[in-house]
Amino acid sequence: MNNKFLAASGALALSLCMAGCGMGGANSQAVSEEVGVAAGAEATTIATSMTQTDVIETAGSGSDVARLLEQKPKNVNSCASIDVTATAPDGTWTAETLTFAVPPCEFSGARGFATLDVTGMLALTRSADNGYSFTSNATNLEYAFSDALGAAYSETRNGTRAITASATGASAASNISVVFVGARHDGILTHQIMSTFTPNEGLTLAQGQPLPSGTFVHNGTATWTGTDGNTGTFTVTTVTPLAYDSTCKGTQPSVFDSGELQIQKTTDTASKFTTIVWSDCGTPTVTYVSN
């Protein structure tokens, strides 16, 4: 794959590397590092999907795709067709389906990419009595990228993220599978992550508004199934809560300005693990530790 394409943005480059960087069957370190990178990217995606406003505007994408779309006249929501399938007594929607197709959900000329095509469906449901909580269900929701030289890469999401929220905090139960195609090793990464969010002191979640600054705690598992036969199951643990900075969204490689996750393969000893450390809303540093 073209190096310029891989380096076009921090968050996307992390996802690309997860699917394609040196996954030898016997190399536990390489596999652990790449799954660690992917888990870091998923942490960002969860953060950008915690409110109905964010998930509708960006289709629950990671921050890189969100930034790409924000530079265009239309965001994801405006290019999708929306089918309201249920409403509350006051007429507001309680279930709707967003369907993405090309065109109009094709974007070009931003952040070094020739094209980004968004296709698939995202179904949203919420109760009639809680405007904060909702569930999003992705069906073949694909982000397909290409560069000027014709190199192609895609990630396709299927699965559900259930958000339970109020003005004082939120939690997300994510069960998402991502199919990676186009890097040196293709495969499926399945995340089963429970996340909790607490807004900073003096801030609250507000209906119809993006997520305010606060902290995240992520815990769960991630399983990689490679098309080359390489597999692995990993635990995801928060060492230091991830500080979500709402001012970083749309401008920086990450939405976290500090925090640390630990990724450990279930067959490794306790002294072997991978850390993901964020600083100043930059691309996180992934380090394999073997004591």
- Give the per-residue pLDDT at 136: 92
Task: With beta carbons less than 8 A apart as the criterion, state whether 68 and 251 touch.
Answer: no
Question: Whole-prediction pTM value?
Answer: 0.81
Residue 94, beta-bridge partner list: none
Residue 97 CB burial class (10 angstroms; 0-12, 13-18, ≥19): middle
- Give the per-residue pLDDT at 183: 60
d(CA 6, CA 15): 10
- Give the per-residue pLDDT at 69: 57
Residue 122 neighbours by CB distance under 10 Å: 24
Per-residue pLDDT of the chain (291 residues; tens, 9 = 90+): 333 233 233 333 333 333 333 333 346 777 787 778 778 878 888 888 888 888 877 776 665 565 555 555 445 556 888 899 999 888 888 999 989 999 888 877 655 668 888 899 999 999 866 778 999 999 999 988 888 787 888 889 999 999 999 999 999 999 999 888 886 567 888 989 999 999 999 999 998 888 999 999 999 999 988 777 777 899 999 999 999 998 887 677 788 999 999 999 888 888 889 999 999 988 899 999 987
- Give the per-residue pLDDT at 239: 97
Task: With beta carbons less than 8 A apart as the criterion, state whether 61 and 80 touch.
Answer: no
- Give the per-residue pLDDT at 26: 40
Among 165, 175, 221, CA closest to 198: 165
Domain boundaries, the chain: 3-290
- Give the per-residue pLDDT at 10: 32
- Give the per-residue pLDDT at 89: 86
